[in-house]
Structure 1
Amino acid sequence: MSDKILPITRVLEDSFVYSCAFEKQRGFEQFVPHHVLAFQFSGETHIQHQSGVIVLKKNQVLLARKHQLTKTVKIPGADKEYKIISVILTDIALQQFVSEADLTNNKKYEGENILLLKSDALMKSYFQSLLPYIEKSKKISKKLAAIKINEAIELVLNQKPSLKTFFFDFANSHKIDLQKFMLQNFHYNVPIENFAKLTGRSLAGFKRDFDKVFRTSPRKWLQEKRLAEAHYLIQQKKQKPGDIYLDLGFENLSHFYTSFKEKFGVTPETLIRQQP
C-alpha cells in the first residue's frame, strides 16, 4: 500500500477553492468565467494567459479578470507543499455588492487581465481566516460565504480604489477580431463555446464568422493548426513530442501520435529520424 500523500482540492459554496499538492502538477486549460482573487500560501503557481506568463509566489495576492483562458503549473515550495486559496467573485455577488453599497460605475475597464496586488496585513489576515473553514470544518453557510465575499471586495477596493471599473464593468463583451484571437489562442484545449464567449459571439455567430474568415469549421481548423505547429516545432526547433503535445492543446500523447500520422503520413519519431 502506497503512503503517498494525495493532492487535495476543496470547493466551498462555489465561492472558495482550496488546493493543496505535494508534487509538481500541470493543470488543465481553463476558461475563467468569473473574477478570481487568490493567495499563495506556499509554493508557486505558474500561469500562462493570453498576454504571457505570470508567476504567483509565496505570500503573493493575484486578481484575475473573468472571461479569459489560462494554463497553470503548480510547484511545491521548499517545504514540499503547494497551497493556495482562490475566492470566486461572480457577477451576481458583485451586482449585489453594488446594490447594497449604492455604487455607480459608468466606465469600461481597460487595464490588465491579471494583476498582482499588495500582500498587506489585512489581505493576509483575510485569507488566514478562510483556512479553518476549509481545513477543519470543510463547510461554510451561504450567509457567511456572502459576508466573506463582500469582505474580499472591500479589501481590494480599500487597497486600490481604481479597480472599481475592474469589478463593476458588467457590459456585454463586444465582438473582437476573430482571426487575431484564434491565431493567438489556438493551443488552448477548451470547448468551442468558450472561444465564442471570449470573442463576444453566440455559438452560432462564432461558427458563421469563423467560416467567413477561415473557410472551414472551428474544430477542423484547430486540429490542422495544432498539427502544423507540432510539425514545425519537431522539425525546425528539434523539440520532443512528449514536451509539446499538451502545450498545443492535445488531450493525450496517443491522440497526438494518431492525428500526426494521419496528417503527415509519418510518426513524430520518423520525422525526427529523417532530420539531418
Structure 2
Amino acid sequence: MNKSIIPVTRVLEDSFVYSCTFDQQRGNEQFVPHHVLSFQISGETRIQHQNGLLILKENQILLTRKNQLVKTLKIPAKDKEYKVISVIITTTALQQYAEDNSIHESKNYTGEKNLLLKPDTLLKSYFQSLLPYVEQSQKISKKLAGIKTNESIELLQRQNPSLSTFLFDFSEPYKIDIEKYMLQNYHYNAPIENFAKLTGRSLAAFKRDFVKSFKVPPAKWLKEKRLEEAHYLIHQKNKKPSNIYLDLGFENLSHFYTSFKKKYGVTPAESLIINQ
C-alpha cells in the first residue's frame, strides 16, 4: 500500500464525489437529498440506514434513494486503500432527462431505498471513465458533467427498466407518524428541517405536531433522549463514552461530556467508573 498518497475527498461540479483513505473513517452523518450511484473500487463502506446495515464491498455498485438519513464507515482493505466514486443524480437532472425522453412516471416508489446493482461491464466502464477527472482533480465543465450524469441514468435504464419508478418518482415524502419516526431516528445528527421534510411536514407543522406528541420542543427532546440513551449504554451495557457519542448523534466528544455532566452531575467517564 502506498501511504505516501494523502487521503482525499474530491467533489467535481457537485456531481461526482471521490474518496480515498488509508485509515478507517466515519463519514459525515447526512441527509441524502438526491439519488446517489456509487461504485466501491476497493475496501468497503458500511452504511447504517433507517432500515438496517448495508455493506458495500469491492466491485459492488449501490443505488441510494433520495430523502433518507445515513451514517457511513469507510474501511480500507488489508492490502490497499479505501476508494469509492459516486455520482449525484439530482432531481433537476432527472426531470430534464424525463422531459427530453418523454418519460411520464405516475406511480409512487414504495420499494427498498438502497439497491445493490449488478456490476455489469458498461457500468464499471462508466465509472472507470470518471477516474481521470476525480483522481487527478481535473476540471470538468458543467456541460460535460451533465452529459456524464445523463449517461449514468441511461445505463441504469438499460440495465433495469424497472428502475423507472425509483428514478422518476418526483413526489415529496408523505405525512407519517411523527412519534414513531423520531423514536427510531433520534440518533441521527440531522437538522430539525430535515426531520420535518422526512416526516412530510413543513418546519412549522413539524414543530407543532412534535410538541403535541412529546410535550417539549424537538431540539430539547433530541438532546434529552440522546443523553438518556447514553446513560443507559454506560450503566447497563458498560459502553465506553468514546465509542457511543457519535452513534447517538452528538457532534463531538467535548459537547457530549459537557451535556452529560450538566444533566447527571458527573462526566460520562466518571459515570462509567462509578458503574464499575
Q: Please confirm whether the aligned pair reaches a TM-score higher than 0.5, indicating the same fold.
A: yes
Question: Once the two structures are superposed, what CA deviation does each residue of 1:17-37 show, in whole Å capped at 9, x if it has no partner?
Answer: 111111111112111000000
Q: Which has the higher mean CA deviation after the structures are superposed, 29-38 or 252-261?
A: 252-261
1:192 aligns with 2:210: no
Please name the residue that 1:244 is paired with: 244
Please name the residue that 2:228 is paired with: 228
Q: Aligned equivalents of 1:68 and 1:87: distance in 2?
A: 17
Q: Aligned equivalents of 2:187 and 2:6: distance in 1?
A: 29
Amino acid in structure 1 at the alignment position of 2:41: F
Please name the residue that 1:157 is paired with: 157
Please name the residue that 2:132 is paired with: 132
Q: Aligned equivalents of 1:11 and 1:20: distance in 2?
A: 12
Please name the residue that 1:95 is paired with: 95
Question: Once the two structures are superposed, what CA deviation does each residue of 1:61-96 show, in whole Å capped at 9, x if it has no partner?
Answer: 000000110111111113331111100000100001
Q: Aligned equivalents of 2:218 and 2:115: distance in 1?
A: 31
Answer whether contact 2:10 2:137 (CA < 8 A) is retained: no
Please name the residue that 1:219 is paired with: 219
Answer whether contact 1:23 1:80 (CA < 8 A) is retained: no
1:86 aligns with 2:94: no
Question: Once the two structures are superposed, what CA deviation does each residue of 1:24-63 show, in whole Å capped at 9, x if it has no partner?
Answer: 1111211100000000111111111101110111100000
How far apart are residue 10 of structure 1 and its match? Answer: 1.1
Please name the residue that 1:261 is paired with: 261
SS in 1 for 2:136: helix
Please name the residue that 2:11 is paired with: 11
SS in 2 for 1:126: helix
**Which ranges in structure 1 are unaligned for 5 or more consecutive residues?**
none
**Which ranges in structure 2 are unaligned for 5 or more consecutive residues?**
none
SS in 2 for 1:201: coil
Count of residue correspondences: 274
Q: Aligned equivalents of 1:133 and 1:270: distance in 2?
A: 50
Q: Aligned equivalents of 2:253 and 2:83: distance in 1?
A: 29
TM-score scaled by length of structure 1: 0.96
Matches within 5 A, 1:54-65: 54-65=54-65
Matches within 5 A, 1:135-150: 135-136=135-136, 138-150=138-150
Percent same amino acid among aligned pairs? Answer: 68
**Cα RMSD (Å) of the superposition?**
1.3
Change beyond 3 A, Cα 1:231–1:159: same
SS in 2 for 1:112: coil
SS in 2 for 1:66: coil
TM-score scaled by length of structure 2: 0.96
